[in-house]
């Protein structure tokens, strides 16, 4: 993280966060019936972040960070040669981001109050307002954006399923090598999967709700809704398989073939597979160190369905 801590929000302003400050303003000016509170709160935080000069930031936990230029660390405290603190040095910069510019407000509307009003005004609820902000993706999905979530999932998938990626025949050795190192979640691939993921999420949401960009919108008045449950009901890994891999081959061991078709033993299944002309697709080592043959399940099903003398069950004998 760039810079060092200057001051906390709660240590500087009489509330816990920018969101609480905006909520208090809205409560004093008509309440949630007058404004889309969540949208106004988010806009206020974004305005602060955008107003802070390069080298400054409002970090998670609502702590302001900034540069140490012109100061020195004396026993763990950053101060100027004239013993001013970092907050003394940067107070005007932080106030300008939090309360807005010093000019342009009516005499009866003090600076910070007027700035909050300007930010909240676009989110005033009117008779034409049909939807309001319910939550951001970060609140529901844990990442800053849908694409960030998908990129992380792609990287994880690539590390765990590089053999399936190779079996798909879609990727060269260089791409597979990057997948092993967690580099499967490229921007282009994330964008394509994210588009399908967004579509699936919108289908899973109740009527009247929608994921737009990285925000969830729904009807007013606000009501309780399990947005996290709707998102969790969408299987992102299956979407990755469909979009980035294609249909993965299902592979069966001889034991699974025997169970599927009622053979007396794995040995019986192997003899039948040999008669049907089904060869092992790959071999893997089991936990016990035994080498196990695996067969393409789709091919096994097709051969079983088209085998000669389907009414005769001598093939089930050990």
Q: What is the pLDDT of residues 17-75, one digit of tens each?
A: 999 999 999 999 998 889 999 999 999 999 999 999 888 899 989 999 988 777 777 76
- pLDDT at position 108 is 45
- pLDDT at position 84 is 66
Helix (H) or strand (E) holding 303: helix 297-305
CA–CA separation, 4 and 2 (whole Å): 7
- pLDDT at position 317 is 47
Reply yes or no on whether the pLDDT at 185 is more than 80: no
**Phi and psi at residue 282, to the nearest 5°:** -155, 170
Q: What is the pLDDT of residues 204-250, one digit of tens each?
A: 999 999 999 999 999 988 888 899 999 999 999 888 888 776 655 67
Tokens of 96: 């300008």
Q: Residue holding tokens 């925000």?
A: 215
pTM: 0.58
- pLDDT at position 82 is 65
Q: How confident is the model at residue 168 (pLDDT cuts 50, 70, 90)?
A: low
- pLDDT at position 35 is 93
Mean pLDDT of the chain: 83
For 88, 90, 142, the CA distances from 80, given in Å and listed in that order, are 9, 12, 39
């Amino acid at each position: 993280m760039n810079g060092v801590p200057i001051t906390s929000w709660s240590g500087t302003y009489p509330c816990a966060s920018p969101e609480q400050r905006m909520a208090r303003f809205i409560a004093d000016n008509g309440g949630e019936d007058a404004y889309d509170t969540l949208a106004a709160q988010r806009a206020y935080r974004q305005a602060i972040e955008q107003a802070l000069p390069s080298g400054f930031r409002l970090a998670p936990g609502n702590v302001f960070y900034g540069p140490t230029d012109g100061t020195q660390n004396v026993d763990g405290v950053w101060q100027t040669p004239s013993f001013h603190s970092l907050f003394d040095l940067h107070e005007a910069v932080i106030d300008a981001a939090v309360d807005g510019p010093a000019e342009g407000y009516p005499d009866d509307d003090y600076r910070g109050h007027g700035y909050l009003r300007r930010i909240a005004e676009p989110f005033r609820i009117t008779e034409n307002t049909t939807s309001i902000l319910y939550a951001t993706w970060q609140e529901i999905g844990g990442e800053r954006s849908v694409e960030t979530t998908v990129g992380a999932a792609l990287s994880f998938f690539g590390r765990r399923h590089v053999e399936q990626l190779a079996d798909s025949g879609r990727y060269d050795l260089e791409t597979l090598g990057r997948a092993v190192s967690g580099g499967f979640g490229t921007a282009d691939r994330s964008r394509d999967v994210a588009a399908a993921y967004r579509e699936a999420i919108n289908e899973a949401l109740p009527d009247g709700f929608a994921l737009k960009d990285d925000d969830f919108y729904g009807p007013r008045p606000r009501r309780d809704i399990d947005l996290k449950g709707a998102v969790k009901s969408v299987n992102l890994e299956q979407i990755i398989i469909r979009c980035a891999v294609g249909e993965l081959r299902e592979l069966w061991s001889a034991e699974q073939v025997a169970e599927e078709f009622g053979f007396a033993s794995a040995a019986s299944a192997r003899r039948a597979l040999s008669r049907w002309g089904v060869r092992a697709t790959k071999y893997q080592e089991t936990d016990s160190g035994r080498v196990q043959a695996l067969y393409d399940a789709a091919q096994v099903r097709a051969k079983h369905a088209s085998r000669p003398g389907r009414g005769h069950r001598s093939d089930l004998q050990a």
